[in-house]
Structure 1
């Protein structure tokens, strides 16, 4: 049996979801006594391959064709690679790019497709866990087939542990150029403000508990003391106190920092969906029953207006 996961890259770098796919793929491979194969299409396949072989996989397949994502190229390349490897499970990121080509590949291979998975288990057959209605409802989909394609939501799986010495195997594809109807001519950054919270190692995130905009000064002071980036829950952004590019959550950005400090955030499911992948979560809230404490590694039940200045003083020296 074989599990095939397709990595994703953008502008010369592998995206975090590629390493998460390797982690999810390893779980499925171990549960089914299968081999785990990773594939990467386009870009600097040599360096990508060297990085991916350290994901504890059995093989890495590189397709040296083009620099950036192209729907028509990916559909043909992944279809041909899958035809060669005959995987039982095809894993693709649940991203803009992944959702662009996964349905077409699944249709060509005759595979059922389940999207936006947050968990996978394999017993007699594949069972996929999905969330619906703003993550308020959890559902399970039992796949009535021996083979399937699944898109995996980013930030739901830990990155694969490093290790292994898998081979990098170049894969020659035969691309029908007449079927390639678009090409990437360049990138234009969307207006996103001065920071990308998704790249931050430490986030100090502020919620409704801050009460008013003038009180944000204590959040900025703490962030400066910790060399952290400030982010927010939706109510703060809706009030116009911080820009949209700093919003964490289902309608904002998904973040996976080393440390996430939730200040005055109750922990609504829409917010939690955007930050539960953080390595360490610290919650500060005066309500001991706030849902944020259910996922926090450390919790401080106290008034944030007392706690935050004290932390700033402690770390600011």
Structure 2
């Protein structure tokens, strides 16, 4: 019976969704080992973070007090010492900008096999099967790790989250920080290239693709978005054409989004785009092609001309 350790992530005072996705992934692995799921949160408002992380599936929450924001040198030492103290079979981390900053360093220090950008996992005894995607999601590969202890970083939006309250034990974890190894200092946070909106925070997204035909037709989409109190996003061709800025692009080369409702208008559903929005709670597709791949993942579909459907929806919700 061995345990699982997941490292939560926060930014600017807020836990990120991937923290709760790590809980789901970690609980699945812990059930396979018969062990406990430990979740660690480093820096920031630890009392608030611990309360939020106390959801179903978590056995113990470890809080590490040091600063407010992410610092590579602090995280690397803290995660290494947490691992040494708990001895988990699997060390789970987010495949995010911050996660990819410290995860390889920690795996190297601990001499652990490490797999990044994992979208699915199966644990059978001392063997972990980790699934990754290649060539824009067109090919899946499985890495079989025959090791007693491994490190994995998971892709966001691949596991569901839970808000069910748990009964985890909260414990403070003291890190013996070597200040000589802390060679950087966080002096502030600046969002670079965020643009006019952050589509990853939107509850409702109205997203457009090639079917919009020309830039002048964007007014139809923005009218619908206003009626729905939604945010406009798009597939890559719209951004490549210069009709919308890069910060509104959904997909593998854009942003991963998980809104409550995602309305795909004139989007065929290429794998690169689907990779960025398949985690939406409800997907509505509008496309004239009944065989468009987007319908494979859509909860609701309208096979019709968007230039007739969109104005009708706008009128209905205005």
| TM-score, reference length from structure 2 | 0.97
| Partner of residue 229, structure 2 | 227
Q: Secondary structure at the match of 1:143?
A: strand
Q: Secondary structure at the match of 1:54?
A: coil
| Partner of residue 63, structure 2 | 62
| Partner of residue 83, structure 1 | 84
**Structure 1 Cα separation of the partners of residues 315 and 268 of structure 2:** 25
Moved more, 35-44 or 117-126: 117-126
| Partner of residue 102, structure 2 | 101
- Kept in 2, the 8 Å contact 1:56–1:162? The answer is no
| Partner of residue 216, structure 1 | 218
**Structure 2 Cα separation of the partners of residues 66 and 79 of structure 1:** 18
CA-to-aligned-CA distance 1:241-268 (integer Å, 9 cap, x gap) = 1111111111111110000000000001
- Kept in 2, the 8 Å contact 1:49–1:60? The answer is yes
| Partner of residue 31, structure 2 | 30
**Structure 2 Cα separation of the partners of residues 301 and 44 of structure 1:** 48
- Kept in 2, the 8 Å contact 1:93–1:153? The answer is yes
Q: CA deviation at 1:165?
A: 1.1
**Structure 2 Cα separation of the partners of residues 66 and 217 of structure 1:** 46
How many residues in Structure 1 have an aligned counterpart in Structure 2?
A: 316
Q: Which runs of 5+ in 2 are unaligned?
A: none
| Partner of residue 239, structure 1 | 241
The 5-angstrom pairing of residues 1-317 of structure 1 reads 1-124=2-125, 125-316=127-318
Q: CA deviation at 1:55?
A: 4.3
**Structure 1 Cα separation of the partners of residues 82 and 137 of structure 2:** 34
> Aligned-pair RMSD on alpha carbons?
1.0
**Structure 2 Cα separation of the partners of residues 109 and 245 of structure 1:** 37
CA-to-aligned-CA distance 1:168-204 (integer Å, 9 cap, x gap) = 1000110000010001111222132211000000000
Q: CA deviation at 1:312?
A: 1.0
Q: Which runs of 5+ in 1 are unaligned?
A: none
**Structure 2 Cα separation of the partners of residues 139 and 297 of structure 1:** 27
CA-to-aligned-CA distance 1:115-166 (integer Å, 9 cap, x gap) = 1000011124210000011111111111121221000001111013422211
**Structure 1 Cα separation of the partners of residues 224 and 298 of structure 2:** 19
Q: Secondary structure at the match of 1:221?
A: helix
**Structure 2 Cα separation of the partners of residues 189 and 92 of structure 1:** 23
**Structure 2 Cα separation of the partners of residues 63 and 123 of structure 1:** 31
Instruction: List structure 1 segments (4+ residues) > 2 angstroms apart after TM superposition.
Output: none
CA-to-aligned-CA distance 1:270-316 (integer Å, 9 cap, x gap) = 10011011011110000011110111111111111111111111111
**Structure 1 Cα separation of the partners of residues 217 and 39 of structure 2:** 48
Quickly say closer, same or farther: Cα 1:48–1:163, change in 2 above 3 A.
Answer: same
CA-to-aligned-CA distance 1:189-241 (integer Å, 9 cap, x gap) = 21322110000000000000000011111111111111100001011111111
**Structure 2 Cα separation of the partners of residues 244 and 106 of structure 1:** 33
Q: Secondary structure at the match of 1:165?
A: coil
